Amino acid sequence: MLTYILRRAALIIPTFIGVTLLAFALIHLIPGDPVENLSGERGMDPARRERLLHEFGLDRPLAVQYATYVRQVLKGDLGTSLTTHEPVLSEFLTLFPATIELAFFAMVLAVCIGLPAGILAALKRNTVADYAVMGVSLTGYSMPIFWWALLLILFFSVQLGWTPVSGRIAVEFDVPASTGLMLIDSLRSGEAGAFRSALSHLVLPAIALGTIPLAVIARMTRSSMLEVLREDYVRTARAKGLPYWRVVLIHALRNALIPVITVIGLQVGLLLSGAILTETIFSWPGVGNWLIHGVQSRDYPVVQGGILLVASIVISVNLIVDLLYGVINPRIRHA
Amino acid sequence: MHEAAVAERIPPAREASAWREFWQAYSQSRGALIGLALVMALVLLALFADVVSPHPPNEQYRDFTLTPPAWHEAGTANFILGTDPVGRDMLSRLIHGTRLSLLIGLISVTISLVLGVALGLLAGYFRGLTETTIMRLMDVMLALPSLLLAIAVVAILGPGLINAMYAIAIVLLPHYVRLTRAAVLAEAGKEYVASSRIAGAGPIRLMFATILPNCAAPLIVQATLGFSSAILDAAALGFLGLGAQPPTPEWGSMLAGALEFIQRASWVVTFPGLAILITVLAFNLMGDGLRDALDPKLKR
């Protein structure tokens, strides 16, 4: 098992180097160098330009610059934002819990609805229930989520007035940030109604973000379930006289879940993609919103650092999923 | 082998029967047929956008700003789906948007298909360092969430419709490379490739003429599904202000431009989104249908 873990972990090193190369290249591929961008419209006299280029180390060979960059990254120095003058890493770490909270609830929603829906569709194959689940999930899968989010706002916030339109909690609550997760912080603050407010702010963004993973999980569960239900051991279990629900939920589901878990792990990248759009629409103060602002205001250290961090997270999660897969399925481990 | 033997016995019918077999498998699914019909309708709409749309897409009818759709009391038959905040006809803009979206899909899928197939063939055929370099690069690209990668590319190239297409082509690329490589690896060891090599075929001929046609099925499916992700990503980029710029009638940027009017005039937001959904759904239905029809594992 340990060799498997080490071998699998070693594989991500080249990928990680590639990501740092990409992030490094990003700054150098952007038209105009950082000094030029700093000087603005007025321009800059050549002597000062030379001095600044030297100061930033931009006059050195690219390979040296890359080595310096990697050294800084490994020390946790991702530069400072051009707009807020805060270190990029600390900005990211302040905002990341908001994205985790949103993504986590989106995923919980997707699993809690997608899994049973997929099982139902598989058991009631070629019935109205099956067609309904598959139709809805194909629609969800094809949904432009920024539009879906707007429809949710139009209906639940504007028409019915059930949920707030944006933010994480109503302004009247001043919840001290300890974990960065608003639901926990608001509970711990002890203020009446704070938790309720935080929860009502979370519902719509979580639905919007969870829709595509939900559709993917439902489809995957259905096809995986259908495959497993055809297996001989399922028939054997039925023939032994075990109750139907027990065969489905214990014997079949356990094996059907293996590909589903992989798919769930793979949704992390999708969730972070979706978070960019969802956070923009709901003014959710997370990393997606922050990145888009960075791109729009040409805050390159933020874009560079953000891409590096998000990619590292996705790589790490994929690694964890792979390792878990090895735990669940010994055939992978010994391949 | 068996198929080839049958084909030899009845040579003239071979082409036609392959098509018929495909069509029989494809037309079994109602969803696939609906998808095909929708895609054909959208293509016709895009081709004849100038003829079909009742107004020019960028003409501003200043006296008719935010006119509701025709079925509303305040609506007029002149603007069936209403007008936007500066008085442009929604229906005409949506029809011209179809042309743009399909073009975005076509161009970005073509670019990444051509590049991806070439890289995949190289990786699968030559193996060794070539393969490692190409596949590691693709791994890096796959590690980034698709929209984030597209945003990174747009950050380098600058916002705009053309750059958005390049960005999407790059995002789609790893899928084609991986598929082609896997298919080449599976095919390269087979006897027909060896016999072609013995007959004197060079690497180019072997790669493109001998191996590639036998890898076509998964690529066709992936290309169809690539259309839907291209259209979806382009709309997302347009919505974020990083894709098509106003006044281009692109669905995503139409949505973004109308955001502040969402409460007063919901139609300026609902219709462009509906157009995206229908188009993406159509390509997904078609892609699923193609997969079921072309995937030999599912054939009975």
pLDDT at A37: 63
Helical spans, DSSP H, in A30-144: 34-39, 46-55, 62-74, 88-123, 128-141
Q: Which residue is closest to A147 within chain B, CA to CA? A: B273
Q: Is the Cβ–Cβ distance between B89 and B54 less than 8 Å?
A: yes
pLDDT at B244: 87
pLDDT at A172: 76
Q: What is the mean pLDDT of residues B136-160?
A: 85
* Amino acid at residue number B237: L
In this prediction, residue B1 has a pLDDT band, given cuts at 50, 70 and 90, of very low
Spatial CA neighbour of A202 closest among A186, A229, A182, A218: A182
Find how far residue B280's CA is from the centre of its chain. Answer: 9
Task: Kindly list the residues from chain B whose CB atom is less than 8 angstroms away from the CB atom of residue A30.
Answer: 155-156
The CA-based angle A4-A6-A11, given to 5 degrees, is 100
pTM beyond 0.90: no
Element (H, E) at B291: helix B267-294
ipTM of predicted assembly, 2 dp: 0.83
Calculated CA dihedral for residues A224, A226, A230, A233, nearest 10 degrees: 50
Give the integer Cα–Cα distance in Å for A68 and A81: 19
Q: Which residue is closest to A145 within chain B, CA to CA? A: B236
Q: Which residue is closest to A152 within chain B, CA to CA? A: B270
- Classified as helix, coil or strand, A167 is coil
**Is B65 buried (19+), middle (13-18) or exposed (0-12) by CB count in 10 A?**
middle
**Those residues with Cβ within 8 angstroms of residue A207's Cβ, 6 or more apart along the chain or in another chain:** A106, A109, A152
Shortest CA gap B77–chain A (Å): 26
pLDDT at A33: 62
Both structure tokens of B107: 């161009």
Give the integer Cα–Cα distance in Å for B207 and B125: 7
| B142, pLDDT greater than 60 | yes
Between residues B282 and A323, the one the model is more confident about: B282
| A191, pLDDT greater than 80 | no
Give the integer Cα–Cα distance in Å for A90 and A200: 28
pLDDT in tens, A35-86: 666 666 666 777 877 887 777 777 778 888 888 888 988 888 888 888 888 9
Strand partners, B10: none
Give the integer Cα–Cα distance in Å for B123 and B141: 16
pLDDT in tens, B57-66: 888 888 888 8
| A333, pLDDT greater than 90 | no
Between residues A335 and B233, the one the model is more confident about: B233
Q: Which residue is closest to A33 within chain B, CA to CA? A: B156
| B292, pLDDT greater than 90 | no
pLDDT at A209: 94
Q: Is the Cβ–Cβ distance between B45 and B97 less than 8 Å?
A: no
Give the integer Cα–Cα distance in Å for B153 and B168: 9
**Those residues with Cβ within 8 angstroms of residue B286's Cβ, 6 or more apart along the chain or in another chain:** B32, B35, B36, B39, B224
CB contact A121 to B (< 8 Å): no
Spatial CA neighbour of B155 closest among A334, A300, A327: A300
| B281, pLDDT greater than 80 | yes
Spatial CA neighbour of B280 closest among A288, A138, A156: A138
| A208, pLDDT greater than 90 | yes
| A127, pLDDT greater than 80 | yes
Between residues A105 and A186, the one the model is more confident about: A105
Give the integer Cα–Cα distance in Å for A102 and A202: 7
Give the integer Cα–Cα distance in Å for A75 and B221: 45
pLDDT in tens, A222-245: 989 998 888 888 888 888 888 888
Cα–Cα distances (Å) from B67 to A27, A154, B73, B80, B250, in that order, read 46, 19, 10, 10, 20
In this prediction, residue B300 has a pLDDT band, given cuts at 50, 70 and 90, of very low
Mean pLDDT, chain B, rounded, equals 86
pLDDT in tens, B217-227: 889 888 998 99
CB contact B212 to A (< 8 Å): no
| A295, pLDDT greater than 60 | yes
Q: What is the mean pLDDT of residues B76-95?
A: 88
Closest Cβ–Cβ partner in B144, B242, B255 for A147: B255
Strand partners, A87: A80
| A335, pLDDT greater than 70 | no
- Classified as helix, coil or strand, A273 is helix
Scan residues 124-153 of B and list those with Cβ closer than 8 Å to A.
136-137, 139-140, 143-148, 151-152
Any idea which of A140-144, B13-17, B168-172, B234-238 has the lowest mean pLDDT? Answer: B13-17
